A and B are shown apart, each in its own frame.
Chain A
Amino acid sequence: MMEHTVTPLFPIPLYSASLGSLENNIRNSVNSLEFERMPSEDGHYTVDKFVLDREEFAPLKQKIQNHIEQFLYEVLNCDPEVNFEIQNSWINKHNENDSAGLHNHSNSLISGVYYIDVDDVSGAISFLKDKGHINLWPDVVNIQTDYDSKKLNIFNTQWWNYIPKKNDLIMFPSMLYHQVEENKSKKIRYSLAFNVFPRGNLGGTLNKLKI
């Protein structure tokens, strides 16, 4: 190997951390929530789209909020005068063979997922590089980089697969397209998704905005 370094310039940050396991009363609450089939017919989600505002979820919401603040203030170094608030939050339920099609989250800057119950084959979340996101060269010249899947990396891949573990929390910019692979497990896959938006005074002088 030749001695060298590679600096990843202008990356899209994918944040991951492991939260502790859910307290029993929260786990029981998940089971008692009402679910509905998604219009896309590939999974269920809770009728309540603000589940983290429920009293029984307050400890979990606080844990997630702590990581949101670490991501926004410590990693991205956003202005500490701006608050980042969880807006909507819902639980996805994927039975065997359920999946989630390619989508992103509007009316949100940061989105996240907390994995309540998953196993190794219940479906990775896959992030897609946008067609307009050129980090090497445009498609005018199509150079194969996937002959050897071991060579796929953050620079040359079109997709990034993240295989979640139970109690993992991930966060990413909401504009980043993603999908969830089919659940190949007999076990139901539960994940809690949420969106985050800033509140406070943004900008100054000509572009000042209070939201």
Chain B
Amino acid sequence: MKHEIIPLFSIPLYKAELSPLDPLMFQKLTNNEWEKTEGFVTHVETAERHLLDRPEYKGLKKAIQQHVDYFAYEVLGCQRDLTWEITTSWVNRSKNGDYHANHWHSNSLISGVFYIYTNPSSGAIVFHKDKNHKNLWGDTLRIDWDKETDYNSEAVGILPKTNELLMFPSILAHSVLSNTSNESRYSLAFNVFPRGVFGESGNSELTL
């Protein structure tokens, strides 16, 4: 039967493909000083947390910034007198067996990942529906599903490809499945925060 479904008030997951990295930049991004962060993690991250501010990554930062702006202004329709600044950026390296536990990014509104190198077995990124995010009915009544759909799923997994860029609201919890390949998986993560005058001329005006 003919029908239409409007996916109301959904969480946007933005995806685009960037141009392949030149070999020198690839070499630099994958050869860093690594450190293990605190918490329930197995992978390592760069000690440098503002990697995209380095002059040698200027071109990559510009390419990512163009998509950040497109997401904020064109997709989300945000006011144009704010600027969206990449505040932190670092590279993750996941070897065989490494994974990222469920987490989200604070002090950030938009977060993103650029996949420097990945393969089909190096781990999907999984986005988790918050327990308080009710898009059908609460858990008081539990109706079994025949199969998972966009509407009934509790989590959505994306298998990224090399050179893909993903962006999503920073509050969205996500995890990365275990790397079951023998190759290391490299991804560049970043956080974005807006700057400018919020609520101009009102009693909640705030300049950041």
Residues of A within 8 A of B (CB): 1-18, 66-67, 70-71, 73, 75-80, 82, 109, 127, 129-130, 132-138, 141-148, 151-157, 160, 162, 172-176, 198, 202-204, 207
Contacts and interface: CB of A to CB of B under 8 A. Distances in A.
Nearest to B158: A7
Contacts of B156: 7, 9-10
A8 B170 contact: no
Contacts, number: 216
B43 to A, nearest CB: 24
B169 A137 contact: yes
A145 B15 contact: no
Interface string B137-161: 1100111111111111100100000
A105 B203 CA distance: 36
B145 A143 contact: no
Contacts of B7: 8, 11-13, 154
Given A6-B14, A134-B133, A160 B141 contact: no
B171 interface: yes
Interface stretch (B71-79, B85-93, B95-103, B113-121): B71-79
B interface, how many residues as a size bin?
Answer: 35 or more
Given A16-B4, A77-B146, A175-B138, A135 B11 contact: yes
30 contacts: A2-B16, A2-B67, A7-B15, A8-B150, A12-B7, A13-B151, A16-B4, A16-B6, A67-B1, A67-B3, A70-B3, A75-B3, A77-B145, A79-B143, A82-B143, A109-B141, A136-B109, A136-B169, A137-B109, A137-B170, A141-B198, A143-B82, A146-B77, A151-B77, A155-B10, A155-B11, A155-B76, A156-B78, A173-B134, A173-B137
Contact of A175 (B75, B129, B137): B137
